[in-house]
Amino acid sequence: MIKKYRSIALLLMLISLHSFVLTGTGFAQQVIQEEKSGITQEEESQDKITPGAQNIKESIGIFVFVVWMWVAIFVLIYIMRLKIKEVDRLFEIRYLSEKKK
Amino acid sequence: MKEQGMKKGFRSWLDERSGLSTIFRFMSEKTVPQHRHSIWYYTGSAILLFFAIQVITGFMLVFYYNPTLEGANQSVARIMTEVPLGWIIRSVHSWCSSFMIALVFIHLLSIWITKAYRKPRELTWMSGVFLLFVSLAFGFTGYLLPWDDLSLSATKVGTDIPRSIPGVGVWVTKLLRGGEDVTGDTLTRFFGFHVSILPVFLLAILAVHVYLIQKQGMSTPLAEEKKGEKMKELPFWPNFVYREMVVWLILTGILFSVAIFFPPSLHKAADLMAPAPEGIRPEWYFLFLFQMLKIFPAKILFINGDTLVVLLMLLGIVAFFFLPLIDNRPEERKGKFITVIAFLFIVYAAAMTVWSLL
Give residue A88's domain range.
76-101
The domain segmentation of chain B, as residue ranges, is: 30-274
Percent helix, percent strand, percent coil in chain B, to nearest 5: 75, 5, 20
Q: Which one is predicted more confidently, B53 or A3?
A: B53
Indicate the fold that domain B30-274 takes in CATH.
Cytochrome Bc1 Complex; Chain C (1.20.810)
* A73 vs B253, B267, B280: nearest CB: B253
Query: What is the spatial distance between Cα B219 and Cα B222, in angstroms, rounded to a whole number?
Result: 9
**% of chain B exceeding 90 in pLDDT:** 64
Give the number of domains in chain A: 1
Give the minimum alpha-carbon distance from B42 to chain A in angstroms, rounded to a whole number.
16
Residue A82 lies in a domain: yes
* A26 vs B264, B266, B298: nearest CB: B298
Cα-Cα end-to-end distance for chain B: 69
pTM of the model: 0.85
Residue A80 lies in a domain: yes
R_g over Cα of chain A? 30
pLDDT for res B43: 95
Count Cα atoms within 13 angstroms, Cβ side, for B183: 7
pLDDT in tens, B334-346: 899 999 999 999 9
From chain A, the residues in CB contact with B267 under 8 A are 44, 47-48
Cβ–Cβ below 8 Å for A35 and B235: no
ipTM of this predicted complex? 0.84
Cβ–Cβ below 8 Å for A73 and B250: yes
Element (H, E) at B303: strand B303-304
Phi, psi of A34, deg, nearest 5? -65, -35
pLDDT in tens, B265-309: 999 898 888 887 777 788 899 999 888 888 888 888 778 888 888
* B265 vs A5, A24, A49: nearest CB: A49
Cβ–Cβ below 8 Å for B337 and A12: no
pLDDT in tens, A13-32: 554 444 333 333 344 444 44
Closest A-chain CA to B292: A19
